[in-house]
Structure 1
Amino acid sequence: MDWAAWHDDYDDPGSALARRLAWVQAAIRTWLAAAPPGPLTVVSLCAGQGRDLIGALTAHPRAADVHARLVEKDPRNIAYARKAAHAAGLTGIEVIQGDAGLTDQWGDVAPAHLVLACGVFGNISDADVSATISACAALCHEGGTVVWTRHRRPPDLVPVICEWFETRGFDRVAVTGDGFGAGVHRRVLPAARLAPGVRMFTFRDRR
């Protein structure tokens, strides 16, 4: 899979990927509107070109409050995200090259106010989806938010994903499925401890 070219569908307004991007950006803006005053921490797993967060923060009145770590493997996507963040004046966005599936990437920034797991759950095994949701209990502050996506192709895992979140200390805020799956869950329990040296998931090279 060419993971840079994969993003091209974002530029087609009629594509499911473009609709998903718009939904996720709207979810991020809704989170920002309700977030407490002061600094906010965001982590983005397998961030790609960072279009979700960068697009949501561009020209937003609270953009300067956000410190975000975006972890991505593809150097072309990293270059795109860094250029876009710079162009938007988003000095609080850090884009690093690495394996987002390792907890060591997040130990110094977790728990975060917002966790983005967009484009992840459709590219890892079901067991790894479950393990990543369990890890979100440590990645996410009490009262913090997880925004996630998953395709709706059979077998549709979205209902199970919701169940996994909701049995591990999260409340459902929103779930949609307009040719794609996406959801928002809020952490209602204190953040768990993030264990170092743990693999949450292995990203599979397929769409």
Structure 2
Amino acid sequence: MDWNAWHDRYDAADSWMARRLRTVQGRIRIALDHAPAGPLKAVSLCAGDGRDLLHVLRDHPRRRDVRARLVELDPRNTTSAAETARLAGLDQVEVVTGDASLIDQYRDMIPADLVLICGVFGNITDSDIERTVSACNQLCRTGGTVIWTRHRAAPDRVPTICDWFGEHGFEQQWLSEPDAGYGVGVHRFTGTPEPLHTGTRLFEFVGYDVLRRRGTPSSGDR
């Protein structure tokens, strides 16, 4: 899969991808609107070209409060994200070309106020989804927000993902409707952050095409 070309699909305004992006951006905006006063930290796993967070930050009243790190493996996407941040004057945004599955990438940015895991859960195995969810109590501060996505194609894992978040100290704040054509979840961390387990790999990004060949249906969640 060419993950750089994939982003072109967001330009079709009525596509499920464009609608999901607008939903994620709206939830990011709400999370920032309700965040406590003072400096904020945000991290984005498998950030792509960063349009979900960056397009909100460029005109948000809290833009100067937010220090962010976007981690993405494809250098074409990170080049685009860095340019978007530069043009928007977002000098507190760091774009990292690297493996987003390595928890050490976020070492000095956590616990964060906002954790984005968008376009990930449809491209990794169920066991890796559970592992990533279980590590969110290392990534997120008390009262912080995790925003995540997952397709609703059979087998629909969204309810199970919500249960996993609940088991690890997260309270569901919002969930897209089952018939929306995509899944977006928002969870607030009510527990106490766990110490960072350095050296941990959260997931292997295998891709929906590989999962489909293995017999795990997916609608291509990126």
Q: Give the TM bin, normalised by the shorter chain.
A: over 0.9
- What secondary structure sits across from 1:89 in the alignment? coil
> Which residue does 2:161 correspond to in 1?
161
Superposed displacement of residue 25, structure 1: 0.5
User: Residue 43 of structure 2 contacts residue 114 of structure 2 at CA under 8 Å; is this kept in 1?
Assistant: yes
Looking at structure 1, the residues matched to 85 and 183 of structure 2 have their Cα atoms a distance apart, in angstroms, of: 26
CA offset at residue 85 of structure 1? 0.8
- What's the counterpart of residue 205 of structure 2? 203
Runs of 4+ residues over 4 Å off in structure 1: none
Q: How many residue pairs end up in the alignment?
A: 207
**Which residue in 1 is equivalent to 2:28?**
28
Could you tell which deviates more after superposition, 52-61 or 40-49?
52-61
Report the equivalent of 1:19.
19
Question: Shift of the alpha carbon at 1:205?
Answer: 3.3
Q: Under a length normalisation based on structure 1, what TM-score does the superposition of the two structures give?
A: 0.98
Match of 2:142 in 1: 142
Instruction: Output the TM-score relative to the length of structure 2.
Output: 0.92
User: What is the identity, as a one-letter code, of the residue corresponding to 1:203?
Assistant: F
Q: Deviations over 1:104-146 (max 9, x none)?
A: 1111111100000000111111000000001101100000000
Q: Any idea what SS the aligned residue of 1:30 has? A: helix
1:168 and 1:9 mapped to 2: Cα distance? 34
Partner of 2:213: none
User: What corresponds to 1:52 in structure 2?
Assistant: 52
Match of 1:64 in 2: 64
- Amino acid in structure 1 at the alignment position of 2:196: L
Q: Which amino acid aligns with 1:77?
A: N
The residue that corresponds to 2:82 in the other structure is: 82
Whole-angstrom CA distance in 2 between matches of 1:71 and 1:78: 8
Report the counterpart of residue 2 of structure 2 in structure 1. Answer: 2
8 Å contact kept, 2:124–2:207: no
1:46-84 Cα offsets, whole Å, 9 max, x none, are 000001000111111110100000000001100110011
Q: Distance in 2 between matches of 1:111 and 1:162?
A: 21
**AA aligned opposite 1:128:** D
What is the aligned partner in structure 2 of residue 193 from structure 1? 195
Shift of 1:88: 1.1
Counterpart secondary structure, 1:100? coil
% identical aligned pairs: 55
Correspondence 1:181 to 2:178: no
